[in-house]
Amino acid sequence: MAISKEIQAFLLDDAIERFMRYVKIWTTSDEKSSSTPSTEGQLEFGKILSEELQELGLIDVVHDKNGYVYGHLPASKGFEEAKPIGLIAHLDTSEAVSGKNVKPVIHENYDGNDIHYSENSELKLSLSDSKVLKDYIGLDIITSSGDTLLGADDKAGAAEIMTACAAWKKYPELIHGPITVCFNPDEEIGRGTKKIKKKLLPKICYTLDGSEIGQLELECFDAWGVDIKFKGLSVHPGYAKDLMINALHIACRFFSEIPEKESPEHTEEREGYYHLYKLVGEEEEAKATLIIRDFIVENNEKRMEFFKSLKESYEKKYPGLKIELAFQHQYQNMIIFLEKEQKAIDLAKAAIAQAGLEVKLHSIRGGTDGSKLSSMGIPTPNIFTGGELFHSRKEFIPTLGLQKAAEVILNLAELWSKN
Ligand SMILES: [Zn+2]
Amino acid identity for residue 360 in this structure: K
**pLDDT at residue 419, as a whole number:** 85
Amino acid identity for residue 17 in this structure: E
Q: Is the pLDDT of residue 353 over 90?
A: yes
Distance from the CA of 187 to the center of ligand 1, in angstroms? Answer: 7
User: Hey, which bits of 195-272 come out as E strands?
Assistant: 205-210, 215-220, 222-231
Which residues lie near ion ligand 1 (Cβ < 5 Å)? 153-154, 209
Distance from the CA of 397 to the center of ligand 1, in angstroms? Answer: 14
Please say whether the beta carbons of 231 and 292 come within 8 A: no
Cis geometry, peptide bond prior to residue 74 (ω within 30 degrees of 0): no
CA 292 to chain centre: 18
Distance from the CA of 90 to the center of ligand 1, in angstroms? Answer: 7
What is the rounded CA–CA span in Å between residue 172 and residue 372? 34
**pLDDT at residue 75, as a whole number:** 98
What is the rounded CA–CA span in Å between residue 203 and residue 348? 15
Q: Is the pLDDT of residue 118 over 80?
A: yes
Instruction: DSSP for 133-162, please give it.
Output: GGGGTTS-EEE--SSS---HHHHHHHHHHH
Distance from the CA of 169 to the center of ligand 1, in angstroms? Answer: 27
What Å distances lie between residue 247 and 242, 278, 279, 308, 393, CA to CA? 14, 15, 11, 17, 42
Rounded average pLDDT over 140-161: 98
Q: Tell me if the pTM is above 0.85.
A: yes
Distance from the CA of 89 to the center of ligand 1, in angstroms? Answer: 8
Distance from the CA of 143 to the center of ligand 1, in angstroms? Answer: 17
What is the rounded CA–CA span in Å between residue 81 and residue 176? 11
Distance from the CA of 290 to the center of ligand 1, in angstroms? Answer: 24
**pLDDT at residue 366, as a whole number:** 86
Q: Mean pLDDT across the chain, nearest whole number?
A: 97
Per residue in 13-58, pLDDT (tens digit) is 999 999 999 999 999 999 999 999 999 999 999 999 999 999 999 9
What is the rounded CA–CA span in Å between residue 262 and residue 265? 8
Please say whether the beta carbons of 145 and 118 come within 8 A: yes
Please say whether the beta carbons of 195 and 365 come within 8 A: no
What Å distances lie between residue 20 and 55, 104, 110, 179, 250, CA to CA? 19, 6, 18, 25, 55
Amino acid identity for residue 301 in this structure: E
Per residue in 370-411, pLDDT (tens digit) is 889 999 999 999 999 999 999 999 999 999 999 999 999 999
Tell me the catalytic residues.
92, 187
**pLDDT at residue 160, as a whole number:** 98
**pLDDT at residue 368, as a whole number:** 80
**pLDDT at residue 303, as a whole number:** 98
Distance from the CA of 60 to the center of ligand 1, in angstroms? Answer: 26
Q: Can you state the angle between helices 152-170 and 399-417, rounded to 10 degrees?
A: 50
Helix (H) or strand (E) holding 117: strand 115-117
The confidence band for 1, taking pLDDT boundaries of 50, 70 and 90, is low
Q: What is the DSSP letter of 340?
A: G
What is the rounded CA–CA span in Å between residue 90 and residue 25? 13
Distance from the CA of 279 to the center of ligand 1, in angstroms? Answer: 30
What is the rounded CA–CA span in Å between residue 188 and residue 245? 42
Q: Is the pLDDT of residue 233 over 90?
A: yes
Distance from the CA of 155 to the center of ligand 1, in angstroms? Answer: 9
Per residue in 266-293, pLDDT (tens digit) is 999 999 999 999 999 999 999 999 999 9
Distance from the CA of 156 to the center of ligand 1, in angstroms? Answer: 10
Rounded average pLDDT over 314-335: 96
Instruction: DSSP for 164-206, please give it.
Output: HHHHHHH-TTS----EEEEEES-TTTT-TTTT--GGGS-SSEE
Residue 324: CB atoms within 10 A of its CB come to 11
Distance from the CA of 216 to the center of ligand 1, in angstroms? Answer: 14
